Structure 1
Amino acid sequence: MIRKFTVYMASALLLLGSTSCGGDDSIEQAAAQSVEQFEAAGVQGMKNDALFIAEATSANMLQVQLGDLALERAVSPEVKEMAQDMSTGHRRVMEDLQDVAVQGEFVVPNELGSSHQKVYNEVSGETGIGFDLAYIKRIREEHNRLLKRYEDMAENAINMDVKQFASKQLPLLRQHLQKAEALEDRLGSI
């Protein structure tokens, strides 16, 4: 347990150190650092796995942050309920993801990637029913992207823990996508 924590903290410190040096996207930085570490250890071909872990970390942080925001600002009780499900589900995914990252010695971003920050800013700029509609629309779009990426990694990841992690999350992502689509249809007809 102490080794896991030490490896995670070392990775986080590495990321913090490099984040302050450049203006690049946090996802790209984390993935590049992971690849650099793997290659220094003689492990090749980990770019896609490293990128996925970094993307998944940022995407799950986005889902939690948007869910928390929707719990505060949503008008519709259905949207608040969806937000609670999203926050809870993606917090669990983050815990699993953190375990995979620590075990596999992947570097993860500690802030949203630029594309995820843009989504957050877009949704948080809305109010009232406009917020509810923007939140649900973006949740659906993001889950659609997540589902495709996780399906790909469940088949094509090099690291077996990454492959298993991606595969394990597919049912939850499908469920979230279906709920978001159904709620978007209901709210869109209001």
Structure 2
Amino acid sequence: MLPLALAPLRRLFLGLALLLPAAGCSSGGGSGADDAVEAANAQNAQKIGAADVTEKQEADARFLVKATSNALLEVELGKLAQARATAPAVRAHGAALLQSRLDLLAALRALADAKKLAIPPALGEDEQEAYHEVSAQTGSQLDKHLMALLVKTQNQDEDAFDDMKDDAYDGDIRGLAAKYYQPIKAQLDAAEEAADAAEKLP
């Protein structure tokens, strides 16, 4: 039996899950209508807009979308670091980050499914563009650009998970944020160290 405070959220998701199509899946570019991140946010906005919910419930949905979007990008950047980075510290960070973000993605997908919330199945257009800008680099420039982007996204992760472990409306989302906050914070520290190593390259 759900706590009384969660009952409106449960009714919302159960009632509207049957009415709305699943978010479109797009791993390539295309028009804004095909953007995976925008599609997930739009689907959640439709659900939330059809019921009387709190701003915190809206923030919960946005958090899941952004956390998934960043994790998808970080997985691709981790693969790129392993394949093409020149600095051992950058390659090592890429390998560690890849494994941790695959685990986080699995948890985010399971939670979003349980809450009947949409999350992006692939990189959004902004994330694709950021990835391609990095992947177009070579040698030490790739290391520097890759780590700068990873530090940026991991800072976003650290801030978001820190906030949501205390402020999420849904207890399960608070629990996920609390579980992953410390590993994410430690990985940010490692990213900053790897970025420093990359900046020392010629």
The bucket for the TM-score relative to the shorter chain is: 0.7 to 0.9
8 Å Cα contact 2:32/2:38 also seen in 1: no
Offset of residue 186 of structure 1: 2.7
CA contact (8 A) 1:11 1:107 kept: no
| Distance of 1:70 and 1:132 partners within structure 2 | 7
**Pairwise CA RMSD of aligned residues?**
2.8
Q: 1:13 to 1:79 in 2, by over 3 A?
A: farther
Which ranges of structure 2 fall in alignment gaps of 5 or more residues? 1-13
Residue of structure 2 in register with 1:37 after alignment? 47
Q: What number of residue pairs does the alignment pair up?
A: 181
Letter in 1 for 2:94: A
Give TM-score scaled by structure 1 length. Answer: 0.84
Structure number with the higher helix fraction is 1
Distance in 2 between the 1:53 and 1:165 partners?
10
The answer to whether residue 65 in structure 2 is matched with residue 57 in structure 1 is: no
Question: Does structure 1 residue 73 correspond to structure 2 residue 84?
Answer: yes
- 2:189 aligned residue (162, 178, 182): 178
AA aligned to 2:47 is: Q
Tell me the equivalent position of 2:23. 15
TM-score by length of 2: 0.79
C-alpha deviation, 1:36, in angstroms: 2.2
Following superposition, the deviation at residue 13 of structure 1 comes to 5.7
Q: Counterpart in 2 of 1:164?
A: 175
Shift of 1:29: 2.4
Superposed CA deviations along residues 117-139 of structure 1, whole A, max 9, x for unmatched, are 23212211111111111111111
State percent identity of aligned pairs.
27
Q: 1:153 aligns with which of 164, 173, 193?
A: 164
Letter in 1 for 2:23: L
Amino acid at match of 2:45: V
1:16 aligns to what SS in structure 2?
coil
Unaligned runs of 5+ in 1: 1-6
| Inter-CA distance 86–115: structure 2 relative to 1 (3 Å threshold) | same
Q: How far 1:57 sits from its partner (Å)?
A: 1.0
Q: Which runs of 4+ in 1 moved over 4 A?
A: 10-13
